[in-house]
Amino acid sequence: KSSDIDKVREYINEHNVPASAEYKGIAKGRNVFVIHLESTQQFSLDLKINDQEVTPFLNSVYHSKDTIGFDNFFNQVGQGKTSDAENMLETSTFGLPQGSLFATQGSNHTFQAMPSILKQEQGYSSAVFHGNNASFWNRNNVYKNMGYQYFFDASYFDTSGDKATGYGLKDKLLFADSVPYLERLQQPFYAKYITVTNHFPFTLDDEDKDPNFQTSDSGSKVVDGYFESNRYMDESINEFFEYLKKSGLYDNSIVVLYGDHYGISNSENKSLAPVLGKDPDNWTANDNTQLQRVPFMIHIPGYQKGHINHTYGGEIDVMPTLLHLLGVEDTKKYVQLGQDLLSNKRTQVVAMRDGDFVTPEYSYVNSVIYDNKIDKAIEEPSQELKAQIEKDKEIAHKQLSMSDSINQKDLLRFYTPEGFKPVEAKDYNYSNGLE
Ligand code: GP9
Ligand code: MN
């Protein structure tokens, strides 16, 4: 109904934040690599186990002068896990309250997604590289509706024997074997790599373990295996960066890295706690929530003004951030629920898919208010704090309900931004490579 989309437009007009002068367009015209770090949580960065960094290469990128990194960036996925993360990054709307938008509605859904916007505004080509079968999470249909030009799934790679694990081609091979396709992509391109090896149950083949890395002895096989497979993923990214530098692609590209969601579930967090130097006996629901931070970094070769930004945000905010960096200034005409992470006009209330939320000072988890500074539940909140929490709750819930209205009713079919051409799935065919 048109009145629903009018409400959405009103919300966007009130909540969109403009690009900041300092950052807008600084990556304009560059190729974009988005690297999806499967199940990677922020705590692995800079973590040392037995005196060794778990992710030495990612750490070097995170602290590079050419990187804008984030340390209060949260995953916001629901039951759609990877597919929810992808949906947020590509559309700046949430996944559904239940189930996966990709799986349940993605075959016939109106998206105004990154590949189509970059194509239409700036002439980008686009591709996804992923070592699993195209039908997983219904990607083969969703990507067409998003306007992805190419989708190189497992069928494009040799996944025989020990080259693959449960979710497909091993990451090092995905990066290496993607090169012949990548090299034929028209520049500038928007290329997404979805890694898979660092996925539960984190049982890496022995041949893929770093013999020099001795993992934790936490009492949980999942936790100990997690760090070993983190290390493998880290090496795969390192190898890909080496390729990018050698090929020359590096200098006219940016690399965006993000973790999609937790790898260690709440039920294992008490085993994880001592590895992180935390006390498992005083573990709270808020500690689980605080562990929902995932890596997010934007690596811009040659930038030189890199730093770690402490803003509180999440996956919903990536799309407007990237578009602004790439010189797509007018994000207000689109329907994006997030706010540019590099703007100081943003609101730092991070909605979780279940309605809980996190702010820099407080968290609201299972109806309990936590003070983040002292890491404790506030038993008797003041009237003033209660009012503040109600306000923040309203902000989080409004953002979620707007998203549900958009996605459950497929509202974008009633709204085409000025100058935007709706995507036609039939224009895409992923079975014949680059022909
Ligand atoms: C599979 C992969 C995993 O193709 O992306 O998805 P997940 O299980 O993490 O949602
Ligand atoms: Mn995932």
**Could you report the per-residue pLDDT of 375-399, keeping only the tens digit for each?**
899 999 999 999 999 999 999 999 9
Cβ-based burial of 25 (10 A; exposed 0-12, middle 13-18, buried ≥19): middle
Q: How far apart are CA 341 and CA 320, in angstroms?
A: 8
Alpha helices (H) in 130-210, listed in sequence order: 139-146, 171-182
Which atom of ligand 1 sits closest to the CA of residue 81?
10
What band does 400 get if pLDDT is binned at 50, 70 and 90?
Answer: very high
Q: In the predicted model, what is the mean pLDDT of residues 42-64?
A: 98
Q: What is the C-alpha to C-alpha distance for residues 423 and 111, in angstroms, rounded to an integer?
A: 8
Give the distance (Å) from ligand 2 centre to CA of residue 260: 6
- Does 435 have pLDDT greater than 80? no
Q: Which of 38, 140, 165, 174 to mutate to test the pocket of ligand 1 (most atoms within 8 A of CB)?
A: 38
Check if the beta carbon of residue 327 is closer than 8 Å to that of residue 28: yes
**pLDDT of the residue at 1:** 56
Q: What is the position in ligand 1's atom list of the atom closest to the CA of 136?
A: 4
Mean pLDDT of 225-237: 98
pLDDT at 369 over 80: yes
Using the predicted structure, report yes or no on whether residue 79 has a pLDDT greater than 80.
Answer: yes
**Residue 420: pLDDT above 60?**
yes
Percent of the chain topping pLDDT 90: 98
Contact 236, 38 (CB under 8 A): no
CA of 234 to the centre of ligand 1 (A): 18
Catalytic pick among 82, 195, 311, 331: 82
Average pLDDT, the chain: 97
**Res. 3 pLDDT band, cuts 50 70 90:** very high
Nearest by Cα to 247 from 10, 11, 33: 33
- Above 80 in pLDDT, residue 107? yes
User: What's the confidence (pLDDT) of residue 109?
Assistant: 98
Residue 353 confidence (pLDDT) above 70: yes
Q: Please indicate if the annotation marks 324 as binding a ligand.
A: no
pLDDT tops 90 at residue 80:
yes
Interatomic CA distance for residues 272 and 218, integer angstroms: 7
The pLDDT confidence band at residue 434, using thresholds 50, 70 and 90, is confident
The pLDDT of residue 2 is: 66
Q: What is the pLDDT of residues 264-287, one digit of tens each?
A: 999 999 999 999 999 999 999 999
Closest ligand 1 atom to 196 CA? 2
**Residue 433 has what pLDDT?**
82
> What is the average per-residue pLDDT within 46-62?
98
Tell which residue, 193, 192, 173, 16, has the closest CA to residue 92: 16
What is the model's pLDDT at position 215?
98
Residue 281, token pair as written in the block:
């006996």
Region label for 189, one of left (φ > 0), alpha (ψ between -120 and 50) or beta (otherwise):
beta
Backbone angles phi, psi at 380, to 5 degrees: -125, 85
> Is 335:112 a contact under the CB 8 Å cutoff?
yes
**Interface pTM (ipTM) of the complex?**
0.99
Strand ordering across the sheet containing 253-259: 150-152, 125-130, 189-194, 31-37, 253-259, 296-299, 67-70, 307-309
pLDDT one-digit tens code per residue, 210-223 = 999 999 999 999 99
Q: pLDDT tens, 119-153?
A: 999 999 999 999 999 999 999 999 999 999 999 99
pTM above 0.90, yes or no: yes
- Residue 427, marked binder: no
Residue-level pLDDT at 196 = 98
Pocket mutation for ligand 1, best pick of 137, 139, 198, 315 (most atoms within 8 Å of C-beta): 137
Is 110 annotated as catalytic? no
Tell whether 418 is in a known binding site. no
The pLDDT confidence band at residue 161, using thresholds 50, 70 and 90, is very high
Distance CA 335, CA 12 (A): 7
| Residue 82 assigned to a binding site | yes
Q: Determine the Cα–Cα distance for residues 51 and 247; give it in Å rounded to an integer.
A: 34
